[in-house]
């Protein structure tokens, strides 16, 4: 099964596509405009809430664009909390970003850690779904 993982954000949106233990493709959409509507349109075209309250609404907006895109193509969407992703990928819900990135590299047998970190996070999210549903 092919799984598409997304780490939503309006300044960068990480994405990753996996099949079993292999990364098929991954990258990051980085809208250039400073206008929020234009950034969201860029994300829409090219296709967890943080403690900081200023990021909640923009992340929710980016997530909404991803959900809209999936709904238009009848693609099911499953969400995982950062704690679940960290626990699944590293074995510890308290893992930091570096630990998650290293495990993504190891588990997908990549030569390098995917950059920026949003990309590694998207791959980790896709892998969490694969492991949870036992597709791997």
Residue 117 annotated as lining a ligand binding site: no
Pairing of strands 22-29, 2-7: unpaired
- In the residue annotation, 118 being an active-site residue is answered as yes
DSSP-derived secondary structure letter, 77: -
- In the residue annotation, 117 being an active-site residue is answered as no
Residue 7 annotated as lining a ligand binding site: yes
**Local structure of 4: helix, strand or coil:** strand
DSSP string of 34-69, one letter each residue:
SSHHHHHHHHHHT----SSHHHHHHHHHHHHHHHHH
Contact between 75 and 100 (Cβ < 8 Å): no
Of 96, 117, 118, 121, the catalytic one is: 118
DSSP string of 13-33, one letter each residue:
EEEEEEETTEEEEEEEE----
Of 7, 96, 117, 121, the catalytic one is: 7
Backbone φ and ψ for 23, nearest 5 degrees, come out as: -85, 120
Residues in binding site for Mg(2+)? 7, 118
> Which active-site residues does the annotation give?
7, 118
């Amino acid at each position: 099964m092919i799984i598409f993982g997304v780490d939503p954000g309006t300044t960068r949106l990480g994405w990753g596509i996996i099949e079993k233990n292999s990364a098929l493709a991954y990258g990051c959409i980085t809208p250039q405009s400073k206008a929020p509507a234009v950034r969201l349109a860029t994300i829409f075209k090219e296709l967890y809430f943080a403690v900081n309250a200023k990021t909640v609404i923009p992340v929710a907006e980016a997530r909404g664009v991803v959900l809209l895109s999936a709904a238009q193509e009848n693609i099911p969407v499953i969400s995982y909390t950062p704690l679940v992703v960290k626990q699944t990928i590293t074995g510890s819900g308290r893992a930091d970003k570096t630990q998650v990135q290293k495990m993504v590299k190891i588990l997908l047998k990549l030569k390098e850690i995917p950059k920026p970190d949003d990309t590694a996070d998207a791959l980790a999210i896709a892998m969490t779904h694969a492991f949870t549903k036992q597709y791997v």
